[in-house]
Copies of this chain bind each other. A is one copy, B any other.
Amino acid sequence: MVAGEHFLPGRTAWADVGWKALASNLSDIAAMGGSPDLALVTLMLPPDFCVEDALALYRGLHECATEYGVTLGGGDVVRAPVFAITVALSGHAYCPADGGPVVLRRDTARPGDLVAVTGAPGESAGGLRLLNDGRSAATDAETCLIAAHERPLPRVALGQAAVRAGLRCGIDISDGLVQDLGHVARASRVSIRLDETRIPLSEALREVWPEDALRLALMGGEDYELAVIGPPAAMETWMGAATGVVTVIGEVIASGTLAVQVLDADGNELALGRGGWDHFAGP
């Protein structure tokens, strides 16, 4: 996370920067159904960076590490013209008693599989839009969206439950639901069809951004929720272990365009245009 690129200093608390730097890595491990172990932290600090801010940053890192059982094992600190933090997180894959390690992958979606998403995507992007508008949280709903943006809760336990339930395909949707499912479609050489009416929209998102809730849920990034894809039986096993948090939103269809389409209630395809997060296109 680079100051001015991935967050705005002065608008984001340093403790939240620390939390999110680790949380975004945890989500990559969650997306494979793995278990996190050890984090190494590299800090690039400008010469005028305050010790108090560094302490706040580490407080956030430590809170997240404690929450997810991660060891903060060291790292490096160097001088730089701009603040940046990078976390290298190691973990281990699930190993059933009768075989080698198994993980969720991007290239294992098959026609007939169901597509499910955890939580309610779009809240983080809704919170970011509030912050970009210079608004602080005035209502419970706004507080909820900003918290989703600043203190995301990666789905480590749900990812682990997914591989244990026999699921083998998944991704985190930190770059946006449609864009990340596009990675799955291309890697698996299938297409994915989502049902607009089944996309879970949180009350908070609908209250704060009533016009844009669907678009934020489909295209907004940084949710650190998971999309998991698999046969109906395994999906049912998983959802039984995670009541209320997982929603089936679509299905995998035989190849065609290797793309993601979203159909409305009448079966017409939504025009999504360009969206999702491209690391070099900028915000």
Contacts and interface: CB of A to CB of B under 8 A. Distances in A.
A78 B279 contact: yes
A258 to B, nearest CB: 24
A131 interface: no
Contacts of A78: 1-2, 5-6, 279
How many A residues touch the partner, as a band?
A: 20 to 34
Interface stretch (A84-92, A181-189, A225-233): A84-92
Instruction: Count copies of this chain in the complex.
Output: 2
Interface string A75-89: 111111110101010
Contact of A4 (B1, B76, B81, B86): B81
Interface string A4-16: 1110000000000
Given A86-B86, A88-B88, A279 B77 contact: yes
Nearest to A281: B79
Nearest to A39: B88
A86 to B, nearest CB: 4
A79 B173 CA distance: 20
A5 B80 contact: yes
A47 interface: yes
A40 interface: yes
A44 interface: yes
A282 interface: yes
A108 interface: no
Contact of A80 (B75, B76, B84): B84
A82 B79 contact: no
A202 interface: no
Contact of A42 (B4, B42, B79, B282): B42
A81 B82 contact: yes
Closest 4 pairs between A and B when the two form their complex, measured CB to CB: A88-B88, A42-B86, A2-B80, A40-B88
